[in-house]
Structure 1
Amino acid sequence: MTAAEAAGEQARHQHGGHRVINPAVLYVGTPVLLLASRNDDGGANLAPASSYWALGRMLALGLEADGHTLANLRERPQLTVNFPSPPLWPAVEQIADLTGKPEVPEAKAARYAYSADKFAAAGLTPQPSDLVDPPRVLECLLQLEAQVRRVTPGVTGDYAIVEAEVVRVHADSRIVRDGDHIDPLAWQPIVYSFRHYFGIGEPLGARGSAAPSPADRWAEEQEEPEGGDAACWLASICPECGAMREATGACRRCGAA
């Protein structure tokens, strides 16, 4: 071992084995979103995103500066934020390299292609909203209608931060528990971590204000005898198109048994 290698090994040991790296992305683990906005011609645009956080009823969304969604929101400041479940990840990936801009930006031309109907391209169904103009995504069990309140250019100019106020929340009744609580054992988002898609695994615990505790319920449900209720709704996902369906009936969208 050379003196330089020995010094490097000593430095790594002193810092607990950590090393300095320069990853291309820093998506440590964020939810996947499907954002619906309204186009100039009245059609709907659908775009995947994963830069998101929420505080109260306000959402902060990070969007590409030259993206079609941001252009739509500057002109028509309403959108829906739809959270796909893990079985829908192929639909998300299907439109990841599509843009609603007829003239594909030069920076995206090598990888992106134009699509006039990204709902159809993803195999997803537009659903009318109550308080905003853009549609929701029928297959997503959790949907937010939102009004844009502010758009702030990013520091580098490559992105913008969209702040939107949630004006209505829609949740499939099968994922709601004890009033207005989303049951995280019945539903979970797709998590995007370093360009890989994941679901949420076994719960670790919960804040004291979370009721009921998913970790306690998870432990109880693992002890259920065979034939008990499933801990998730995966059995209600159509294997052909990813739509939610009644477990004993045909898919309401594609008709698969």
Structure 2
Amino acid sequence: MHITSRPSILYFGTPVVIISTKNKNATDNLAPMSSIFWLGWRCVIGLAAASQTTQNLLRTRQCVLNLPSVNEVAAVNRLAKTTGTDPVPEGKRLKGYRFEEDKFGIANLSRLSALTVNAYRVQECPVHLEAVVEATHGLAENDADMRGKIITFELRIQQVHIDEQILIDGNPDRIDPDKWRPLIMSFQQFYGLGDKIHYSTLGEIPEELYNTKDRSMANA
């Protein structure tokens, strides 16, 4: 039986992403988040307006989206309550966040150069998506208390790097869902995917039919 409920959060389960950006002083910022969804070679992310990643994206308009697998969960946890903003914003201070400038160091992660943006890739993550900001949008514009506190970014993917261990054998452009085990955040807890549970009729559609102009532009 369903009952009426009022959860404080509605994080029903989305993949974790480590966003890498450049700070104003040229140091590197890493921020784990999970408010993200993809459409073609674009995605939408939501971030607190006061976060360092938000300020970096507004200034540089570029980033790398690094997708960790379940194997990188400890590194994500080491980053989880850190911020590149000094002083720490009040909202984050109340949640126990601390300022850290050397995000790669404290997470014990390694840098890889990107090809199209000024931000490093995270070597340990199986997926790297180099992206640029196409548009920004406010959230809750009709609510005086919430207006300006959250910003959504539309990002266009420019370059994709995939660990060959999660690709379909012999096909560099196809990820094998039986090999890819993304790290999932659900109600502030970490989870992974289990085995495939049922045949999918959508899986009968050739992936090539989902191609967009963005993909063609990125591969040019």
Q: Quote the Cα distance in structure 1 between the aligned partners of 2:127 and 2:205.
A: 21
Aligned pairs, number: 195
> Runs of 5+ in structure 2 lacking a partner?
141-145, 208-220
1:142 and 2:127 are equivalent in the alignment: yes
Match 1:162 to one of 153, 157, 167: 153
Q: Give the Å deviation of 1:78.
A: 0.4
Aligned residue number for residue 108 of structure 2: 123
| CA–CA distance in structure 2, aligned partners of residues 192 and 55 of structure 1 | 20
Provide the C-alpha distance between the structure 1 equivalents of 2:25 and 2:192, rounded to a whole number of angstroms. Answer: 36
- TM-score normalized by the length of structure 1: 0.73
Q: Tell me which moved more, 47-56 or 199-208.
A: 199-208
Q: Deviations over 1:24-43 (max 9, x none)?
A: 11111100000000000111
1:66 positional shift: 0.9
Q: Which runs of 5+ in 1 are unaligned?
A: 1-16, 212-257
Please, what is the CA RMSD of the aligned residues? Answer: 1.2
Q: Name 2:205's counterpart in structure 1.
A: 209
What does 1:1-257 correspond to in 2, within 5 Å? 17-110=1-94, 111-155=96-140, 156-157=146-147, 158-177=149-168, 178-204=171-197, 205-206=199-200, 207=202, 208-209=204-205
Which amino acid letter does the alignment assign opposite residue 167 of structure 2?
V
Q: Displacement of 1:179 after TM fit? A: 3.7
Give 1 or 2 for the bigger CA radius of gyration. Answer: 1
Amino acid at match of 2:59: E
Whole-Å Cα distance in 2 between the matches of residues 47 and 108 of structure 1?
Answer: 13
Q: Show structure 1 runs of 4+ deviating over 4 A.
A: none
Aligned-partner SS, 1:120: helix
